[in-house]
A = this chain, B = another copy of it.
Amino acid sequence: MAHHPRSFGRINDIDTLEFVREITSGNRSALSRAITLIESSRPDHQKKAHEILDHCLQHRTSSLRIGITGPPGVGKSTLIESLGLEILNNPDNRLAVLTIDPSSQQSGGSILGDKARMEQLSGKKEVYIRPSPSSGHLGGTSPKTHEVIMLAEAAGFNIIIVETVGVGQSEITIESMVDYILLLLLPGSGDELQGIKRGIMEIADSVAITKSDEADRAIMVRSESSCQAAIRLLPKKYSCWTPEVILSSAVTGQGIEEIWKNIQDFTTVLTAKGLFEQHRKKQLNKLFTALVDEQLRIAFYDHPEIEFSLQELAAKVEKNLISPFSGAQLLVKKFLSPPIQ
């Protein structure tokens, strides 16, 4: 229950439609409050949040969702700052940056931290920056970022950047919610790619090698070619798209225009084949199925009798007094047919 940064004492007094009007007319504080409701684990907050979200769905802008991932220290924030400024060269663009920070659950959010790291972006009225805690009700990665993306789109942000640390399972989650994934790698880390980074290389739509200003030319070239070799080895995500490897520096600006052009080319190519929309639909359907499973598990594990019975049966299974199969059946039966009062 780490994430109640604001108070919603009179939650039922909030007029949902009024709230939705505020969000969709660009009231940032209303957007922030809605996101806080989404992230809350209190059932009344959740209920109100979903009412708001349901109404917001009618107001979503056509958007582009960009995932930026890579190991800690690769320079995600500085690259996002440069890329964001590049994106804002088009005055029609409004940019939301959502950061999934695995540590933010402990620290209670790192809003100031993220804003400080993206100094130039955070001052702009066309930009909204928001950290998103990475843990959901049942632990592990959370689908809440997906909900936050939808709210930001309803608030008129047409370019959404989702930043995530590429550790553990988080890159799998990002794949389920963005249109395009840019993998950032440090120069010289290319050699280990074939052995270690396979999972994340496979989901990347392009790769940027960062900090080209700091590294030796020879190292950059070797990193580039070993990345390209890895890409050739891996199965293609789309037959019509081959990931590019881009050398970049947030300091000198090298590669930043090229990255933005790559993202736009990607969108054009996939849209022409109908794959952009198809990918979105697949994501939405997967999300729905995953949420059905999650809701089912929540209902189950929150059931008052289950916790006790689960422990009791797990102990019996461990002692071979009952098979795990019979134990599981007994437990689910108990859940579905509560004792007659």
Contacts and interface: CB of A to CB of B under 8 A. Distances in A.
Interface of A: 50, 53-54, 57-58, 60, 146-147, 150, 194-196, 198, 230, 233-234, 281, 284-285, 287-288, 291-297, 299-300, 310, 313-314, 317-318, 320-329, 331-332, 335-336
Nearest to A306: B292
A327 B288 contact: yes
A331 B292 contact: yes
Contact of A320 (B57, B292, B327): B57
Contacts of A291: 324-325, 327-328
A245 B341 CA distance: 63
Given A318-B281, A324-B284, A195 B53 contact: no
A1 B291 CA distance: 28
A274 to B, nearest CB: 15
Which residue among A54, A58, A296 has the maximum number of chain B CB atoms within 10 Å of its CB? A296
Contact of A331 (B58, B295, B327): B295
A50 B328 CA distance: 11
Contacts of A146: 324
A198 B323 CA distance: 33
A313 B328 CA distance: 29
A94 to B, nearest CB: 20
A58 B320 contact: yes
A325 B145 CA distance: 12
